[in-house]
Chain A
Amino acid sequence: MAISGRAVALALFGAAVVVLSPAPGLTLLLVDGLIVMLLGIDVALAGAVRSLEFSRSGPTSARLGQPVPLVLGVTNHGPRTVRARIRDAWPPSAGARPRTREVEIPAGERRFVESTLTPTRRGDREPFRITVRSLGPLGLAGRQGRHSCPWRVRVLPPFTSRRHLPAALARLREIEGEVAIRGAGAGSEFDSLRDYVIGDDVRLIDWRGSARRAAVVVRSYRPERDRRIVCVLDTGRTSAGRVGDTPRLDHALDAALLLTSVALRAGDRVSLVAHDSVPRLSLPGSHDHTFLARVSDAMATLEPAIVEADHSGIVSTVLRETSRRSLVVLFTELAPAVIEEGLLPALPTLTARHTVVVAALRDPRIDELVAGRDDVRAVYAAAAAEQTQLRRRELTDLLRRRGVEVVDASPGSYAAAVTDTYLTLKSLGRL
Chain B
Amino acid sequence: MTAGAIMTTSGGGPGGTALRSGPRPPVVRRGLRVGAVVGVLVLGVAIVSALVTRTSSQDALDIRSTKPAGTRALAQILRDRGVSVSARDAVPPDSQATSAPDTLVVLAPGRLDNGTLTALLGRVWQGSDVVLVGADDAVLDALDVGIRTASHDPGTTATPRCALPEAVAAGTTSLTGSTAYTTAIGGHRADMRVVLCFGDPPRAARLAVLTPGLDEVPAGANGGGRLVLPGSADFLTNHALNRDGNAALALGLLGRHPALSWITPDAGAPGGVGQRGVLQLLPPGVRWALLQIVIVVVLLALWRGRRLGPPVQEPLPVIVRAAEAVEGRGRLYAAARARDRAADALRTGARIRLAERAGLPLRTGPAGAPEPNPVALVASIAEQTGRSPSEIGSLLYGSGMPPPTDARPGPARRTLDRARSRDLPSDPARPAMAAPAAGAHSEPGGQDAALLRLAQNLDDLDRQAGGR
Q: Do A and B come from one complex?
A: yes
> Taking A383-B342, A393-B352 as contacts, is the C-beta distance between A369 and B327 under 8 angstroms?
yes
**Is the C-beta of B99 less than 8 angstroms from some C-beta in chain A?**
no
With both beta carbons as reference points, the residue of chain B lying nearest to A249 in the complex is identified as B317
Knowing A112-B2, A240-B320, A380-B333, the reply to whether A89 touches B309 (Cβ < 8 A) is yes
Is A114 in contact with B7, judged by CB distance below 8 angstroms? yes
Bound-complex Cα distance A333 to B295 (A):
64
Docked CA distance A337–B26 (Å): 54
Contact with B along A19-39 (1 / 0, CB 8 A): 111001101100110000000
User: When chains A and B are docked, how far (Å) is the Cα of A27 from the Cα of B296?
Assistant: 15
CA A388 to CA B349, docked complex, whole Å: 10
Residues of B contacting A110 with CB < 8 Å? Answer: 2
- Judge whether B303 and A4 touch: CB under 8 Å: yes
Find out whether the CB atom of A385 lies under 8 angstroms from the CB atom of B318: no
Q: At the interface, yes or no: A14 with Cβ under 8 Å from chain B?
A: yes
Which residues of A have CB within 8 Å of B287?
24
Closest residue of chain B to A370 (Cβ to Cβ) is B349
Given contacts A112-B2, A383-B345, contact A365 B334 (CB under 8 A): no
Q: Are B323 and A24 in contact (CB under 8 A)?
A: no
B331 and A380 contact, CB distance less than 8 A: yes
A15 and B289: CB pair below 8 A? yes
Q: How far is the CB of B373 from chain A (nearest CB, A)?
A: 16
Give the chain A neighbours of B327 by CB distance below 8 A: 369, 381, 384
Closest partner residue, chain A, to B363 (CB atom): A397
- Binding stretch for chain A, among B32-40, B81-89, B451-459: B451-459
CB of A114 within 8 A of CB of B321, answer no
Whether A103 contacts B352 in the complex (CB less than 8 A), given A19-B286, A32-B295, A381-B331, comes out as: no
Q: Which residues of A contact B295 (CB under 8 A)?
A: 11, 32
From A7, A120, A363, A393, give the contact of B322 (CB < 8 A): A363
State A41–B193 Cα separation when bound (angstroms). 61
Q: Is the CB of B284 closer than 8 A to any CB of chain A?
A: yes
Does the CB pair A7–B299 fall under 8 Å? yes
Q: In the assembled complex, which residues on chain B have CB atoms less than 8 Å from the CB atom of A112?
A: 1-2, 4-5
> Which A residues, 108 to 164, have Cβ-Cβ distances below 8 Å to chain B?
109-116, 118, 120-121, 128-129, 131, 133, 144, 146
Query: How long is the Cα–Cα vector from A12 to B334 in the complex, in angstroms?
Result: 65
Given contacts A7-B299, A242-B319, contact A390 B352 (CB under 8 A): yes
In residues 421-468 of chain B, which contact A (Cβ within 8 Å)? Answer: 448-449, 451-452, 455-456, 459
B303 touches A384 (CB 8 A): no
B292 touches A32 (CB 8 A): yes
A382 vs chain B, min Cβ distance (A)? 7
Given contacts A97-B10, A383-B342, contact A388 B308 (CB under 8 A): no
**A121 and B349 contacting across the interface, CB-CB below 8 Å:** no
Q: Is B370 part of the binding interface, using a Cβ–Cβ cutoff of 8 Å?
A: yes
Contacts of A382 in B (CB 8 A): 330, 346, 455
**Interface members, chain A 342-393 (any B CB < 8 Å):** 363, 365-366, 369-370, 373, 375-377, 379-390, 393
Query: What is the size category of the interface that chain A forms with chain B?
Result: 35 or more
Interface residue? B369 (CB, 8 A): yes
The interface residues of chain A lying within 8 Å CB-to-CB of B324 are 241
B222 interfacial contact with A, CB 8 Å: no
Contact B331 A92 (CB under 8 A): no
Bound Cα distance from A387 to B302, whole angstroms? 62
Per-residue interface assignment for chain B, residues 4 to 16, with 1 indicating a CB less than 8 Å from any chain A CB and 0 otherwise: 1111111001010
* Contact partner, B309, options A7, A146, A373, Cβ 8 Å: A146
With contact pairs A21-B285, A384-B330 given, residues A393 and B314 touching in the complex (Cβ less than 8 Å) = no
The answer to whether the Cβ of B52 comes within 8 Å of any Cβ in the partner chain is: no
CA A121 to CA B317, docked complex, whole Å: 9
A114, B8: Cβ atoms closer than 8 Å: yes
A46 to B326, CA, bound (A): 63
Q: Which B residues lie within 8 Å of A195 (CB)?
A: none
Q: Is A90 an interface residue (CB 8 A)?
A: yes
Nearest-Cβ distance from residue A304 to partner chain B, whole angstroms: 7
Contacts of A177 on B, CB cut-off 8 Å? none
Rounded to whole Å, the gap between the CB of B305 and the closest CB of chain A is 10
Does B364 sit at the interface, judged by CB under 8 A?
yes
Task: State how many angstroms separate the Cβ of B319 from the closest Cβ of chain A.
Answer: 7
Interface residues of A in 294-312 (CB under 8 A from B): 303-304, 306
Interface pair A247/B370, CB less than 8 Å apart: no
* Inter-subunit contact A369/B308 (CB<8 Å): no
Q: A105-B4, A381-B327 are in contact. Are A116 and B369 (CB under 8 A)?
A: no
B10:A2 contact, CB within 8 angstroms: no
CA distance A242 to B325 in the complex (A): 12
B330 in contact with A377 (CB, 8 Å): yes
Q: CB-nearest residue of chain B relative to A381?
A: B330
On whether the beta carbons of A386 and B299 are closer than 8 Å, the reply is: no
Q: Considering the complex, which residues of chain A in the window 61-117 have a beta carbon less than 8 Å from any beta carbon of chain B? A: 65, 85, 87, 89-93, 95, 97-98, 100-105, 109-116
Are A248 and B322 touching (Cβ within 8 A)? yes
Q: A5-B303, A91-B314 are in contact. Are A114 and B6 (CB under 8 A)?
A: yes
At the interface, yes or no: B368 with Cβ under 8 Å from chain A? yes
Closest to A27 in B: B288
Cβ contact within 8 Å between B321 and A383 = no
B283 in the interface (beta carbon within 8 A): yes
Q: Which residues of chain B in 303-356 are interfacial with respect to chain A, using CB atoms and an 8 Å cutoff?
A: 303, 306, 308-309, 312-314, 317-324, 326-327, 329-334, 338, 341-343, 345-346, 348-349, 352
| Contact present for A383 and B326 (CB under 8 Å) | no
Q: Which residues of B contact A5 (CB under 8 A)?
A: 303
A87 touching B309 in the complex, CB below 8 Å, given contacts A98-B8, A114-B8, A386-B345? yes
Asked whether any CB of chain A lies closer than 8 Å to the CB of B293, the reply is yes
Tell me if B56 counts as interface (CB < 8 A to partner A).
no
Which A residues are in CB contact (< 8 Å) with B5? 111-114
Contact of A92 among B13, B299, B314, B348 (CB under 8 A): B314
Give Cα distance in the complex from A363 to B324, angstroms: 11
Contact A7 B303 (CB under 8 A): yes
B17 at the interface (CB under 8 A from A): yes
* Distance of A122 Cα from B180 Cα, bound (Å): 84
User: Is B321 in contact with A365, judged by CB distance below 8 angstroms?
Assistant: yes
Name the A residues within 8 Å of B41 (CB-CB): none
Does chain A have a CB within 8 A of B51? no
The reply to whether B412 and A373 contact each other, CB–CB distance below 8 Å, is yes
Query: Residues of B contacting A366 with CB < 8 Å?
Result: 323, 326
- Can you list 30 residue pairs at the A/B interface with Cβ under 8 Å? A11-B296, A18-B289, A19-B286, A31-B292, A87-B308, A98-B9, A100-B308, A112-B4, A113-B5, A114-B7, A116-B10, A133-B308, A241-B320, A242-B319, A248-B322, A373-B412, A375-B415, A379-B342, A379-B455, A380-B331, A380-B451, A381-B330, A381-B334, A382-B330, A383-B330, A384-B345, A385-B323, A386-B345, A387-B329, A394-B369
- Residues of chain A touching chain B, judged by Cβ–Cβ distance below 8 Å, are 2-5, 7-8, 11-12, 14-16, 18-21, 24-25, 27-28, 31-32, 65, 85, 87, 89-93, 95, 97-98, 100-105, 109-116, 118, 120-121, 128-129, 131, 133, 144, 146, 238, 240-243, 245, 247-248, 303-304, 306, 333, 363, 365-366, 369-370, 373, 375-377, 379-390, 393-394, 397-398
Residues in chain B within 8 A of chain A (CB atoms): 1-2, 4-10, 13, 15, 17, 19, 283-289, 291-293, 295-296, 299-300, 302-303, 306, 308-309, 312-314, 317-324, 326-327, 329-334, 338, 341-343, 345-346, 348-349, 352, 362, 364, 368-370, 412, 415, 419, 448-449, 451-452, 455-456, 459
12 further A-B pairs in the complex, CB-CB below 8 A; given A97-B9, A129-B309: A19-B288, A65-B15, A103-B4, A111-B5, A113-B5, A144-B306, A248-B322, A369-B327, A376-B452, A380-B451, A383-B330, A389-B349
Task: In the A-B complex, list the 9 residue pairs whose CB atoms are closest, starting with the nearest.
Answer: A381-B330, A241-B322, A131-B309, A383-B342, A111-B4, A24-B288, A384-B330, A24-B285, A386-B349
